[in-house]
Amino acid sequence: MEGTIIKGIGGFYYVDVDGEVIECKARGKFRNEKVSPIVGDKVKITLENGKGAIEEIKERSNMLIRPLVANVTQAFVVFAIKKPDLNMDLLNKFLLLCEYNHIEAIVVFNKCDLITEEEKEHYNELLKKAHYNVIFVEGKSGKNLDKLKELMKDNITVFCGPSGVGKSTISNKLVGRELMETGEISEKLKRGKHTTRHSELIESDHGFLVDTPGFSNLDLSFLKEEEVKDYIRDFHDFEGGCKFTSCAHVSEPKCAVKDAVEEGKISRERYEFYLDVLEEVKNRRNKR
């Protein structure tokens, strides 16, 4: 049988097989191969006397470290435009990390009752130009959360974004029960010395939601200079048009990406973010 690991605790793995959850142990061969099953893994299992055994771990499409989970297919990147004010550079960092991890990013702007239609239109256009889907929601009232539910079908979805933007409120409403702690409780838990959170997949409308926020580390210094441009989605349409195949889109002549910025086809804000990340990666490398 084949299924998805939805929880792992104390050496036992709980595998969802067509809606039925089977408790399994991993075969000893994985320990010998120094491979451990993790939440999100697609696995083959066998049943003997009602007990399950994991026989094979399918190849992973990706693996996040914090939270520790495999095969995440999409991220709801949650930000508020007001309270707190939108930090566009931070949003772009989350989008870059999604690209790096081969995860489809959906930009979710919460607290949309606090902004004007003109502001909505501005950010919608900015991100659509970069080929991102944008959804405006109100977590407290539940407005437009049905659109997120629709997108969750057949996906393993992780939430990411800064604190205070309403990730917990939205995720709790989507699954109809308390998953992530909200407000002060979560701040106190984060400070607790012995607090351990295990990743878990919660089934919701034929998809899974990761029961811990994603991407707690936004340090981009692990990137190589020459690959940063590969994770800026709006560059892809113009990459083949540069004079040099190895064009970094910085100071080279006849650069299609820079031309697209001048023509307004790529947002100047996104391009300047790219230059800042290049600088950050370069500086970190020089300090080593």
Cβ–Cβ contacts within 10 Å for residue 29, how many?
A: 11
> 106 and 127 in contact (C-beta within 8 Å)?
no
Region 114-124 average pLDDT: 93
pLDDT given at position 130: 94
Length of the chain: 288
Query: Is pLDDT of 231 > 50?
Result: yes
For domain 225-287, the CATH superfamily is Probable gtpase engc; domain 3 (1.10.40.50)
Query: Is pLDDT of 39 > 90?
Result: yes
Residues belonging to the binding site for Zn(2+) are 242, 247, 249, 255
Inter-CA distances, 166 with 29, 80, 83, 171, Å = 43, 8, 10, 9
> 111 and 79 in contact (C-beta within 8 Å)?
no
Q: What percent of the chain has pLDDT over 70?
A: 91
Q: What mean pLDDT, rounded, does the chain reach?
A: 89
> 94 and 161 in contact (C-beta within 8 Å)?
yes
> Which amino acid belongs to residue 211?
D
- Classify residue 9 by its DSSP letter: E
pLDDT given at position 192: 39
Break the chain into its structural domains and give their ranges.
2-57, 63-210, 225-287
pLDDT given at position 60: 96
Residues belonging to the binding site for GTP are 110-113, 161-169
Q: Which of 27-36, 44-53, 137-146, 184-193 has the lowest mean pLDDT?
A: 184-193
For residue range 170-217, what is the model confidence (pLDDT) as tens digits? Answer: 998 998 866 555 443 344 444 433 333 568 999 887 799 998 777 766
pLDDT given at position 185: 38
pTM of the model as a whole: 0.88
For domain 2-57, the CATH superfamily is Nucleic acid-binding proteins (2.40.50.140)
Q: How far is residue 91's CA from residue 127's CA, in Å, rounded to a whole number? A: 11
Residues belonging to the binding site are 110-113, 161-169, 242, 247, 249, 255
pLDDT given at position 117: 94
Q: Is 165 exposed, middle or buried (0-12, 13-18, 19+ CB in 10 A)?
A: buried
Q: How far is residue 215's CA from residue 238's CA, in Å, rounded to a whole number? A: 29
Q: Which of 95-109, 146-160, 179-193, 260-274 has the lowest mean pLDDT?
A: 179-193
3-state secondary structure of 33: coil
Q: How far is residue 206's CA from residue 71's CA, in Å, rounded to a whole number? A: 16
Question: Which residues make beta-bridge pairs with 33?
Answer: none
3-state secondary structure of 28: helix
Residue with tokens 């520790």: 68
Q: Is 20 exposed, middle or buried (0-12, 13-18, 19+ CB in 10 A)?
A: exposed
First to last CA, the chain: 48
For domain 63-210, the CATH superfamily is P-loop containing nucleotide triphosphate hydrolases (3.40.50.300)
Mutual orientation of helices 268-287 and 88-100 as an angle, nearest 10°? 70
For residue range 14-24, what is the model confidence (pLDDT) as tens digits? Answer: 999 999 999 99
